[in-house]
Amino acid sequence: MGSDRIIDTEASVTEVVKAALGRTGNPRLKEILSAFVEHAHAFVRDANLTDQEFHAGLRFLAAIGQANTDTHNEAVLAADVLGISTLVALRNNPQSHGQTAYALLGPFWRLNAPDCACGDSIARSNTPGPAMLVSGQVRDIHGQPVSGALIDVWQASPVGLYENQDPAQEPMNLRGKFRADQDGRYHFRTVRPAGYPVPTHGPIGDFLKAQNRHPYRPAHIHFMVSGPGHKTLITQVFSDDSEHLASDVVFGVTKALIGHFKRQDDVASAPAGVTPPFYTLVYDFVLEQGTPDFPEPPIK
């Protein structure tokens, strides 16, 4: 074709490749591929990448793919620890109208969490740890309640493990979906989550060690909140007394997402079946108008 040409020097490689990409029929795909080639080639030049380093990088990428299983997603973890997941989430979901801040999905969300009634507990296994009562309201950017909003929650246990990582937990433990009432209010019971290290058995563990970085996340609860006519909110709420708020290994903490995990020691205020000390979290969500959509689950 007319755009074909033989490469004469390394300086011509980028333009020749971009010209070949010009045949791409989808305009947005063409734009993305062109930008990727431009920046990837610039990286090779800026870093003055050697043959040995290039092949080491290819082995690293291959190892990420080989580490993926039905219950572990190393590719999502890689994007998380590089800050790419957070950057994409924040760029695509501004808070200009008062909507709740987004946060990265993470590698542990699963489809088909059990449907629960408001007030139910998501701690189905024998999960020792302080009880926690979570409640709040879902509103739109105009302050009106989002009746019947769906709140999908998932979290780590008090020892810092998700149920897919821990044979001692029942399937779907510490996961559940709740429907807000007509006033947009929701509430459920759980146990207080612990902070935890991200999985380090794969190449991302070696990657973090090479940078002298710790692998820890602060304690948090994941939320995916949706409703008809509203954009799906993917976010996390972090404990205000967590050790690693300022050094989250996946850069997921923003100030707006730090919640107050309030300790309660008063026996008289404890609901039936709850023994002090227990914790409470009150957190409201604000959704913007849009079309609800849902991500592909990183694990099965």
Which DSSP string do the residues of 248-273 spell out, in sequence order? Answer: -TT----GGGEE--EEE--GGGPPTT
Give the number of other CB atoms < 10 A from CB of residue 193. 28
**In contact, 185 and 136? CB cutoff 8 Å:** yes
Residue 6: which pLDDT band, with cuts at 50, 70 and 90?
confident
Give the number of other CB atoms < 10 A from CB of residue 263. 13
Query: In what helix (H) or strand (E) does residue 281 lie, and over which residues does it extend?
Result: strand 278-282
Higher pLDDT pick, 6 / 147: 147
246, pLDDT greater than 60 = yes
Give me the pLDDT at residue 269, please: 85
- The residue ranges of every structural domain in the chain are 1-49, 74-287
- The structure's pTM equals 0.93
User: For residue 196, how far is the Cα from the chain centroid?
Assistant: 14
- Cα distance between residue 144 and residue 75, in whole Å: 39
- Cα distance between residue 6 and residue 19, in whole Å: 12
Q: Does domain 74-287 have CATH number 2.60.130.10?
A: yes
208, pLDDT greater than 80 = yes
DSSP notation for 145-183: B-TT-EEEEEE--TTS--GGG-TTSPTTTTEEEEE--TT
Residue 1: which pLDDT band, with cuts at 50, 70 and 90?
very low
Mean pLDDT estimate for the chain = 96
Give me the pLDDT at residue 183, please: 98
Residue range 67-91: mean pLDDT, rounded: 97
